[in-house]
Amino acid sequence: MNYEYFIAKRIISSKSYKSSVSAPIIKIGIAAITIGIVVMMIAIATGIGLQQKIRDKVVAFNGHVLITNYDSNNSEESITPISINQEFYPEFKSVEGIEHIQAVASKYGVIRTDKDFEAAYLKGVGADYNWMYFNEFLIEGRLPDYTQKRNEDVLISQYLANRLELKLNETFQMVFPKNDPEKLPNMITYNVVGIYNSGFQDFDANYIIGDIRHIQRINNWKKDEEGNFIEVGNFEVFISDYDELEQKGYEIYDNTPSVLNTQIITDKYSSIFEWIKIFDTNIYGIIGIMILVAGINMITALLVLILERTQMIGILKALGSNNWSIRKVFLYNASYLILLGLFWGNLLGLGLLFAQKYFKIFPLDPSVYYVTEAPVYISAGYIIALNIGTLLLCLLMLLVPSYIITKISPVKAIRFD
């Protein structure tokens, strides 16, 4: 029989233990563990969730890796076209882990309605476009279909729709200026078939999604013998594992012609990705502070327990128990308190996280955080690691104060009152 565990269990289950002087301090220690695990769980879930959500929104508009021409064009507009007849298109077989590649083009223009006007980019996409991300962003209407004949259906952001007072199935004109100011601009009447909201205002304010063939026609890009356009603005590459982004970026660069340039998304939007990296530092800081606070509270509770059970320690020593056995009794006791705090902390923490995930309780300012509500990432992996790590670190911190038991004299302890 593990007699240390047996004694610890009897102490915990005794009525005097629950009504003792140490009871309030023990409750404070349990509350510290509970609050700590809740705060740490929320910090990790919202930190990782925000990172992933912002990252996915940037990827939705650009892909993971961009293949473009070498030119001095710093705008988003496609100036110099790329031939669509590439070895890596429509399937990038020379590099593993490539999920999808699509041809796109962008054209700067001015949206004009009866009441107002707004400058924006028409992002031209074709039959190969992956609508997965925009299917999630869609809040009204449907996604355009560019697999058949060229059409004037477009997807517009809720931000632009509100500014221009546009509604579903309404039309607007978009004017595309030419490089030669003496020539008349191109004008196309578009039909709003869908409204999206990515929550990323920097993109929502600048992009509408339309048929790439309009841009190809306006720019007079080359056609093949069958009348199909064979030039595009650039290629967007999607990879299956974001953690391999930098490696895949180098591999894609090595497997594209020397006349083409490649750029990973973290380089193009370095300020955004540097900003979200700070979340990791914040998460580690919060975890460290919470474990330290919880550990200090548990140390206080353990010292009070030792003081309260001084006579018992003296009797156990007199009966032949060694110092480590008696320390184990109190460590078992402390483990019970930590596990109790972890139980309530997980219950409250997961309750709050699932409530936020499904009911969107806490909104955020999209102009600051690029999302409309606090996103949460829930994974059994980090929850288990967090619980085990908290338990082990707290127990390690308790080894030091439990050493005081070795300094207690049996004779003095039995007489202690």
Dist. CA 45–CA 342, nearest whole Å: 17
Dist. CA 197–CA 160, nearest whole Å: 10
Provide mean pLDDT across the span 247-260: 94
Confidence of residue 285 (pLDDT cuts 50, 70, 90): very high
| Own/partner pairs, 166-174, CB within 8 angstroms, 24+ separation | 166/113, 166/192, 167/192, 168/140, 168/141, 168/192, 168/193, 168/194, 168/195, 169/141, 169/193, 172/111, 172/112, 172/113, 173/111, 173/112, 173/113, 174/109, 174/110, 174/111, 174/112, 174/120, 174/122, 174/208
Give domain limits for the chain: 3-56+273-415, 71-258
- Summarised one tens digit per residue, pLDDT across range 364-402 is 887 778 788 889 999 999 999 999 999 999 999 998 888
Mean pLDDT of the chain: 89
- Summarised one tens digit per residue, pLDDT across range 14-68 is 765 556 666 788 888 889 999 999 999 999 999 999 999 999 999 999 999 999 9
Match 């190969």 to its residue by tokens. 128
Provide mean pLDDT across the span 236-260: 94
pLDDT at 135 (0 to 100)? 92
The number of angstroms, rounded, from the C-alpha of 89 to the middle of its chain's C-alpha atoms is 30
Confidence of residue 413 (pLDDT cuts 50, 70, 90): low
